[in-house]
Amino acid sequence: MFKSGFIAIIGKPNVGKSTLLNRLVGEKVAITTHKPQTTRNRITGIRNLENAQLVFVDTPGIHRAHTILNRFLVDTARQAFMNADLILCLTDAGKEPDEDDRMIFESLREMTVPVFLVINKIDLLKKEALLPLIDAYRTRYPFREIIPLSALKGFNVDRLIGCTVDLLPEGPPHFHPDLFTDLPERFLAAEMIREKLTLITQREVPYAAAVVIDQFKDDEAKNLIRIQAAIYVEKESQKGILIGRKGQMLKEIGRQARIDMEAFFSARIYLELFVRVRKNWTREARWLHEFGYGGKSGTS
């Protein structure tokens, strides 16, 4: 008997959804940073077991949306959980639940598919605080399971996998068992660059940046991949920040991204980065679409 299904990972920004996805899959398919709203697309990560295939779908954090980029993020998250066999709703053990958490928990009451509450970041919680916390959730909401874990440290993730397999429907695998993601290489490369620039730059710059791969040439004979990528920002001033004094900032982003790419693609990488300005792209449907954040959810 083989089981397979789609599992949506949802929750507020920054609760650790992408970290959990990577832990569940055992590969870094999703970028993660300490800044909220790092994830912008639906990210699929596949865990292949002997008797099951678990297709996890990481989503942008759910929050009250203001710009159209933000609306796209929230819509992408909602679409993912409409099509799931199981929903993992994450919360951060280190923080009191707020309005946004409650909005998400309440909206899940109407779901017909089972929902697990995953209390993440228990490494930040005092041991004696855990049981009362679980009890409080159990009395308030109809979660099928409540699973405390640490995505970062890997505590209790096996239990989550076990409970997930139990609930999945019988069926053949949706993807080839060698795959751990359905995302194209170009998309993964662009995301690695976006992770580094998000970590290195300050204030609004990460939120104003999109990365587009202009060229991705795999020279298999030389085990070399040549990548040309453009970072788009909204203002000249942001372009200046990204390039930095004597180009130092851009060079550092490229250096760090290249290290990750070489490990991920098991090849030497020749990476060239350019910075371009598209005024107010986060507010214009045309540009959003161009940068992979429009139309149907997923990647471009």
Residues 6+ apart with CB under 8 A from 189: 213, 216, 227, 229, 261
Q: Which does 238 bind (CB under 5 to 8 A by kind): Mg ion, ligand GDP, none?
A: none
8-state DSSP, 62: P
Q: Does 22 bind Mg ion (CB under 5 A)?
A: no
The residue behind tokens 């005024």 is 279
Q: Is residue 168 within 8 Å of residue 85, measured between CB atoms?
A: yes
In the complex, minimum distance from the CB of residue 220 to Mg ion, in angstroms, rounded to a whole number: 32
Secondary structure in 3-state letters for 172-192: CCCCCCCCCCCCCHHHHHHHH
Residues 53-82 vs ligand GDP: string with x where CB under 6 A? Answer: --------x---------------------
Q: Does 15 bind ligand GDP (CB under 6 A)?
A: yes
> Residue from 16, 45, 254, 292 that binds ligand GDP (CB under 6 A)?
16
Beta bridge partners of 53: 4, 48
Q: Does 124 bind ligand GDP (CB under 6 A)?
A: yes
> Residue from 18, 91, 198, 299 that binds Mg ion (CB under 5 A)?
18
Of 32-51, which residues contact Mg ion (CB under 5 A)? 39
> Residue from 42, 47, 63, 121 that binds ligand GDP (CB under 6 A)?
121
**Where does this chain touch Mg ion (CB under 5 A) — which range of 17-25, 115-123, 240-248, 269-277?**
17-25
Q: Is residue 82 within 8 Å of residue 61, measured between CB atoms?
A: no
How far apart, in Å, are the Cα atoms of 132 and each of 105, 127, 249?
A: 18, 10, 47
List residues near ligand GDP by CB under 6 A.
13-19, 32-34, 38-39, 61, 120-121, 123-124, 150-152
